[in-house]
Every structure is written in structure tokens, then in C-alpha cells.
A and B are shown apart, each in its own frame.
Chain A
Amino acid sequence: MPDYEVILTSDRTMMSNHHGKEFLGFLATGPAINMPEKVWMWLAAPKLRVDEFGRPKEAPYGLRKVEAKLIDEGFKAAIIDPDYIHKYLNSMKVLMVGHHDFFAYGPPSIGWWVITGKEPVNRLSLMRFMRSEVVRKAKERGVRIIVGGPGAWQWLWELDFWRECGVDLVIEGEVERVIGGVVRKALDGEELPDYIYVGPSDTPSIDEIPVIKGGSVNGLVEIMRGCPRGCKFCSVTLRPLRFIPLDKICEEVKVNLRAGVRSVILHSEDVLLYGADGIRPKPDPLIKLHSVVRDLVKDGNIAWSHVSLSALKYAEENYKLVSNIVNNYIRVGKQTFIGVEVGIETGSPRLAKIIMPAKAAPYPVEAWPDVVEDAFRIMHENYIIPAATLILGLPGEEPDDVVKTAELLDRLRPYRSIIVPMFFVPLGALKHKDWFRKHNINKEHIEVMLRTFHHTVYWAEEIMEKFYLREPYLTPIRLGLKLFIQYAKWRINKLKPEIEALIKA
């Protein structure tokens, strides 16, 4: 049995590969609806395969980076599945818990919570884990508890729980440069600060970012960090732009292949800006990237985490780059489509100008709705299935802005996509602004939510019929989701008179 001193882990909603379907992970951001929580958790976040020591074959990418950094610096550290931590009670001196949405305050969790009035399962699961006997015992034995990740800021709103769990340190930001020093202090029994925020000046250089040592969830591999667009609601944009060299990307794909993960999710805030000249995609680096990755994964799936709609339109209209990549490197062999997350955020050019002035670039921000529609058409034609987000309640939003978003939704109806409305969460340069709450919802917001519901349900049925969850072993999941969609339709129909009365009021 290895004698790990530093154990990295998370709760089940994070420590899962969501049946190998990243999008199913979104179910973990909602509450269990019309079914027992256990069934919902099985749908959203089944257990991972682990080795004899409780080390998962796949683990969240952020945890993998921290694990790699600590191992490189000589620490006895490993990611352990939450069900196996008890095996390390004797050797563990530091317990590190990572999460991107500890208490469901992030998007889209907070939206589902507000709409349904029920706590999302990711929150319940994390709190259950932190209150578990093994964490309590670890604390009693003097184990230092460090929590971190993109959702670390949420602890500032859960101070009673912070004290209850005996958390020693909350750390946020790109931690590669500092985490070794922090863990050394924790192991040496030195005093720790309560909170560390790693700002832009302490972000790691490319050389300081390690290669992961074990498989990442669904083969996620980072290809760049930072984003040049400067949208005010986003925290990533504060950090400098860095492209991960191709050889490092390949190394990580190989690590995943060795772990038995045959798919790849190329991760970036905007995959099509890999190797780009500012905000203009360049064909060579992108083709090289996809060509090399396809050669490595052979008939495995390739997915993109995020692309911007403007980069997608520019790449296709100037170089036919999107169709080239999709036809020659993605839709080959068994792969029939590619999934990706995109941000619409608003249909109002006025609001876009205030909140995300460079989102449409190199096109003028006034043309934002046209950019969105053109990009959706290009994606539809190229079998790219986007999960798109809208943000309701952005600071400065007026009813007419929301009407414009509703109008844009009508224009997007012909294009295969999932569209999810999210409530504004103060992040990035808007961190000091107020949250969007239930009492802020007006009739225009309800109209947008209804239109996204009808759009998404319509296309979700088509997507499941032709593209998604087609593997025989996923039949129970597909049936479960179909039943859920039928239930949601029935429920909305039942509420229709009340909703219409609300809109007319």
C-alpha cells in the first residue's frame, strides 16, 4: 500500500466520467427531479474505475495538474477516489479537495436551484462528502484540509460550513507556481493563511505547467490558457494567453491512452484560437493539432470544450477551416458529430457592447446576432452540436435586451443545438456586482426561458435519436433521459396557464 502524505480528491459529481459523455455531467448541476437522488446521481455521475489502491483511472483535469506538480516537486501525492480515502488515514497529512462548483453557486447550478427551489445534487454530494466520517476522522488526526479550484470563491459564502469542516486554507487561481510551497508548509505544521488568490502576475509560464501523470476525465487535455476577448463576466480573461506546445499536448493524449481513455476533449476557452493571430484563427496550427491528435487516438472520439462563435464564422468563411477539420479529422471512422460549448450570452448588441465588446471580433459588436446565427448555421451543416449558454440578469440589462435575446432564439430554431439559460453570477471584472435572484425574474426572462425550453427539447429528441447515446450499453441512460424529457414537457404544459398569466401580467 503506498504511503501517500498528500491526498487529492473531490466528491462523486466531480470524480466521474459521466458514462463517458461529458454533457451528461451537466445533470449533476441540477436537483434530482421526479426521481430519487440516487438514480439521478447514477445518471449524472456514476463511480469511476479504480485500481487496487483506490486511484481512479480518470480524474478531474485540474486535480491531475496539481497532482503532477506535487509529484514533480518530490511529494508523496496521489488522487484517490472519495470512497477509498479511509485507506490512507494513517499516512495522510494533507487532504486537498478540488471542485469547480463546490456549493452550486456557479452557472448553471444556481439557475436550476432558483427555478426549482431544490438544492442541486453537486452541492448535496460535496457537503455530504465534507461531513463524512473519513473527513471528520482525518481532521481529528490533524490532517490539514486545503480546498481549491475554480469554485473556491464559494467558500466565502459558506463560512459556517468552512468552520464546521475545519478547512485550513482556500486557494484559488492557477496554482502551479505556489502549490509546492503551500503543501510544504502544511506538511511541516507551519501556520497557513486562510485564503490565497493567485493573481495574473503569478500565473505559471508554459514551462511551469506540468504534464499530467494519470488519465483525465473523458480524455480532457488543455491546449491553451487564458482568453483574449476580455468579456467582463468571465474570470479566465484576466489571465495571460498561453498556447500549450503540441508535444506537451501529445504527451498528455498518450497518458490518457495508456490509462485506457480513448477519447480526447481539446480544452480551451476557444479551441479555434489555438496558435491564432490575436482573435483571428490560423489554419496551420489548427490542422496540425487535429491531424496529430487523430493519428494518436485512431478511431477514438475528438471533442472541443469551447469555441467562440465569431472565431468559428471567421475560420469557415475565410479558410473553409471548420469543414476541413470536421470532414478530414473529426467525422472519420465511427465518429458522426462533435459536441462543443458556445456562449451566446445575449441577443442584444447594446448589452453585448457593454459586457463583451470583443466577443464578436473581428466582426463589429453591432452584428452579434448575425454572427451567432451564421455560426449556428455553419455548425448545423458540419454536424457540430453546440450546447449554448445565455446569461439572464447581466448588469445593465433592460427588458428590451431580453426581448432581443428572445428574437434571436427564434432565428436559431432551425439549427440543431441545446440552449441553456443561466442566471448571472458575479465573476471576473463583474465580481463586485450583485447576483441575479428569483425576485429579479420578469416576464421577458420567462419568455426567454420558455423559448429555450421548447428549442432544447425539440432538438434534444432529434440528437438522441440520431447522434447521442447510441451505444447499446447506454440504452438505459437514453431511455431515462427520454422519460425525463417527456416528464418536463408534461410539467410545462400543465403550468402553461399560470405561465401565460404571468407573462400577460
Chain B
Amino acid sequence: MLMSTSLDTHHVVVVLGDGGTTDKLVYLTNEFIIKRGVKRLFVHVISQDGRPKYFERFRNVLQSLIHCSLIIKYEGSTTNDFIRLIKSTHDLSKLVVVLVGEPPTELKDFLKELGINYISV
């Protein structure tokens, strides 16, 4: 079901850092959805813009994704929030992390430490 984190729900963590635009994120997400045949996408958002202000930079992504179900959830604004989120994830191999703009250095270090690949846009 849509609300559960079932196997057919794909998870993406988007970190909205300083600057950067979400235009490339739109393109990449669409490509990801088509390639993997995604029917449900759960997007976890880390942003200093706060909730629900982060949608200002994010709504063009929502508007272009009309062919799959979407769940968008704000997870916090700090590197610690990000670390907490990653640590609570059971299967890191399936996780997709997207960094928009310039994220804090310690966040990148943390990803390197855990060996998690990320996409920068």
C-alpha cells in the first residue's frame, strides 16, 4: 500500500542545500522512474527552508511526476537529521541520495564513510 514502506516503494532522500536548482532533479527523477518502472516514490526531504516552505523549491518536481504515486515527507534541516534518517534505513543499497546545491561538508563525509553513493545536481 501507498502509505507503507513496501518493497515496491522506492525511496529517495533529497537534500536541498544552498543554491542549486531542481531542474536537473526533475530530469533525473523522471529518468529513474521510467528506467526502473517505479510506481510509488517516497521522497524524504532535508532542507533548511523548513516545512512546508521547502515546497517552493520542490513543487516543479512534483508537477512533472504525474505518472507515479508520490509521498513527500520533511525529515529535518540539519546534518544530524540526515544522519538519523540514514541510520533508520534498513536497506542502504536501495537508497538513492540526491544533493541539490551545496550541502554541508560533514554530510558528504558521512556518506563517504558509509560508502553511500550520491548524485549531486
A binds B: yes
Chain A, residues 407-448, CB within 8 Å of chain B (1/0): the string is 000000000000000000010110110000000000000000
Report whether B69 and A194 are in contact in the complex, using a CB–CB cutoff of 8 Å.
no
Give chain B residues whose Cβ lies under 8 Å from the Cβ of A177: 1-2
Q: Does B72 interact with chain A (Cβ within 8 Å)?
A: yes
- Any chain B CB within 8 A of the CB of A199? yes
Q: Is the CB of B73 within 8 A of A156?
A: no
Q: Is the CB of B40 within 8 A of A202?
A: yes
With beta carbons under 8 angstroms apart, the residue of B42, B59, B66, B73 that contacts A429 is B66
| A195 touching B70, Cβ below 8 Å | yes
Name which residue of chain A comes closest to B68, CB basis.
A199
Total count of chain B residues near the partner, CB < 8 A? 27
Given contacts A193-B72, A196-B70, A202-B69, contact A432 B4 (CB under 8 A): no
A194 touching B64 by the CB < 8 A rule? no
Interface string of A169-203 (1 = CB under 8 A from B): 00001000110011001000001011111111110
A197 to B33, CA, bound (A): 15
- The answer to whether residues A178 and B3 also contact, given A199-B69, A202-B40 and a CB cut-off of 8 A, is yes
List 18 A–B pairs whose Cβ atoms lie within 8 Å, in order of A's numbering.
Answer: A157-B59, A159-B56, A162-B52, A163-B53, A167-B52, A173-B69, A178-B2, A178-B3, A193-B42, A193-B73, A194-B55, A195-B62, A196-B69, A198-B69, A201-B40, A202-B40, A238-B67, A428-B66
Q: Chain A's nearest CB lies how many Å from the CB of B24?
A: 14
A156 — nearest CB in chain B belongs to which residue? B59
- Against A, the Cβ 8 Å flags (1 = close, 0 = not) of B59-86 are 1101111111111111000000000000
- Does A178 lie within 8 Å of B1, measured CB to CB? yes
Quick one: closest A residue to B59, CB to CB?
Answer: A156
- Choose from A196, A201, A238, A432 the contact partner of B71 (Cβ within 8 Å): A196
Given the interface pairs A159-B53, A177-B2, A181-B1, the reply to whether A201 lies near B68 with Cβ below 8 Å is yes
| Interface hits, A121-164 → B, CB 8 Å | 155-157, 159, 162-163
- Chain B, residues 1-45, CB within 8 Å of chain A (1/0): the string is 111100000000000000000000000000000000001101000
Does B39 contact A199, Cβ atoms closer than 8 Å?
Answer: yes
Contact B70 A431, beta carbon cutoff 8 Å: no
Distance, CA A194 to CA B4, complexed state (A): 15
Interface size on A (CB < 8 Å)? 31
Distance, CA A196 to CA B74, complexed state (A): 12
**A193 CA / B40 CA spacing, docked (Å):** 14
Shortest Cβ gap from A290 to chain B (Å):
34
CB nearest neighbor in A for B42: A193
Smallest CB–CB gap between A176 and chain B, Å? 11
What's the count of A-B pairs with C-beta under 8 Å? Answer: 83
Say yes or no for B51: interface residue by CB 8 A criterion: yes
Q: How far is the CA of A181 from the CA of B2 in the complex (A)?
A: 9
Q: Are A159 and B3 in contact (CB under 8 A)?
A: no
Q: Which residue among B1, B4, B69 has the maximum number of chain A CB atoms within 10 Å of its CB?
A: B69
The residues of A that contact B40 with a CB separation of less than 8 Å are 199, 201-202
Q: From A431, which residue of chain B is reached at the shortest CB distance? A: B63
Residue from B52, B66, B72 in contact with A159 in the complex, judged by beta carbons closer than 8 Å: B52
Residue among A197, A198, A200, A428 with most chain B CB within 10 A: A197
A193: chain B residues at CB < 8 Å are 42, 71-73
Give Cα A429 to B30, complex, Å. 14
B10 CB to nearest chain A CB (Å)? 13
Residues A201 and B62 in contact in the complex (CB < 8 Å), given A159-B56, A194-B73, A195-B71: no
A238 and B66 within 8 A (CB): yes
Contact B64 A159 (CB under 8 A): no
A202–B53 Cα gap in the complex (Å)? Answer: 28
Contact A195 B60, CB 8 Å, known A159-B53, A178-B2: no
Residues of B near A178 (CB, < 8 A) are 1-3
Within 8 Å by CB of A197, from B4, B53, B69, B73, lies: B69
Cβ distance A227 to chain B, nearest Cβ, rounded Å? 15
A155–B39 Cα gap in the complex (Å)? 24
- Complex-state Cα separation, A178 to B66, whole angstroms: 17
A431 to chain B, nearest CB (A): 4
- Alpha-carbon distance between A73 and B59 when the two chains are bound, in angstroms: 33
Residues of chain B within 8 A of A163, CB atoms compared:
51-53
Beyond known contacts A163-B51, A197-B69, A432-B63: 15 more, CB 8 A cutoff: A159-B52, A162-B52, A177-B1, A177-B2, A193-B72, A194-B51, A194-B74, A195-B55, A195-B71, A196-B69, A197-B66, A198-B2, A201-B39, A235-B66, A238-B67
